[in-house]
Amino acid sequence: MTLSDADVPGWWAGLELPGLVDVHVHFLPPRVMRRVREQFDTAGPLIGREWPLQYRGDDHERVAKLRALGVRRFTALPYAHRPGIAEYLNDWAAALAAAVPEVLLSATFFPEPGAASYVTRRISDGTDVFKAHVQVGDFDVLDPHLHEVWGMLEDAGTPVVLHVNSGPVATPWTGPGPLRALVAAYPRLTLVLAHMGAPHYDEFMEVAEKYDRVHLDTTMAFTDFWEEMAPFPPALRPRLRDLRDKVLLGSDFPNIPYPYAHQLEALVRLELGDDWLRAVCWHNAARLFETSRPARPTAPTEGHA
């Protein structure tokens, strides 16, 4: 099966879905996005290989693209890579969510003084999802500055998309060990583990099997590009099938080196059935984020898509 982006609406309509929910989409302030793109364009140290970005439009163009694909809800997922930037990113993401109704209100945090204070405020403001990027931020998930943060997130039940896996490049703070330590300390966290935990699929799936509130996202997993770096073992497919209600569609749009449709092709190739695809591409995220009704697109506001 070969899909183009133009085929995507017909594909999800064929599954009798109202569209797609994508839990791993990035929108960042323009100057920050430029810096991120530079890392991909130059195969920076946390990228590790050639990564020809497929989508380079501005915010308006990228929102229009997601709408054309039929992505009815999507995250913005800012991620703090150093102290002192989280709230700047959070304010920007909040303005984007106010302007674009499909955007889930997204925020981030970093292990720093004051993190508990601003996370408390963001939870009170109705944040739908947080992003923590351990690989890029190069921090210990059990840093003392995060103790209160994780506790509040446990109590609130707000999902955290967590990149603690070792792909594409490992750091001392990534991998199964840090993840296990985190969930042992905070077993009620609602987590969405990015990239299916690649390359440690087995161990990350084991955590999702053990902890009720731990999920996995499909971001880049199973695609031809990712399979070159971290192939998914075919022997794990039965477990992936059994985890159907805990797997959510993620794409990493716009920072992907292939058409958006290829992520969906890769899911079809797993041959886990239409019910599995329906759960992954819509129902699981709709349940997690309580977004079962498609948003009504409105006109963009000045300064945002």
Which pLDDT value is given to residue 258? 97
pLDDT digits (tens, 9 = 90+) for 118-164: 999 999 999 999 999 999 999 999 999 999 999 999 999 999 999 99
Which pLDDT value is given to residue 46? 85
pLDDT digits (tens, 9 = 90+) for 183-220: 999 999 999 999 999 999 999 999 999 999 999 999 99
pLDDT digits (tens, 9 = 90+) for 248-303: 999 999 999 999 999 999 999 999 999 999 999 999 999 999 842 334 344 333 34
Q: If you average pLDDT over residues 18-31, what whole number do you get?
A: 97
β-pairing, 191-193 vs 214-217, is parallel
Residue type, 38: E
Which pLDDT value is given to residue 256? 97
pLDDT band per the 50, 70, 90 thresholds, residue 1: confident
Q: If you average pLDDT over residues 108-122, what whole number do you get?
A: 98
Asked whether 245 and 284 are in contact (CB, 8 A), the reply is yes
The SS3 call for residue 268 is helix
Sequence spans of domains, the chain:
5-289
d(CA 104, CA 192): 15
Query: Within its chain, how far is the Cα of 202 from the centroid?
Result: 19
DSSP bridge partners of 74: 22, 103
Which pLDDT value is given to residue 295? 45
pLDDT band per the 50, 70, 90 thresholds, residue 304: low
5-289 belongs to which homologous superfamily? Metal-dependent hydrolases (3.20.20.140)
Q: If you average pLDDT over residues 58-85, what whole number do you get?
A: 97
β-pairing, 214-217 vs 129-133, is unpaired
The SS3 call for residue 141 is coil
Cα-based distances in Å from 40 to 33, 79, 214, 234, 262: 11, 16, 29, 29, 19
pLDDT band per the 50, 70, 90 thresholds, residue 37: very high
β-pairing, 71-74 vs 106-108, is unpaired
Phi-psi label, residue 70: left if phi above 0, alpha if psi -120 to 50, beta otherwise: left
Q: Among the listed ranges 1-5, 83-87, 96-100, 153-157, which one has the minimum average pLDDT value? A: 1-5
Read off the tokens for 186: 């905070």
Cα-based distances in Å from 292 to 17, 72, 102, 202, 289: 11, 10, 12, 31, 8
Exposed/middle/buried for residue 83 (C-beta within 10 Å: 0-12, 13-18, 19+): middle
Which pLDDT value is given to residue 290? 81
d(CA 17, CA 67): 15
Position with higher pLDDT, 44 vs 123: 123
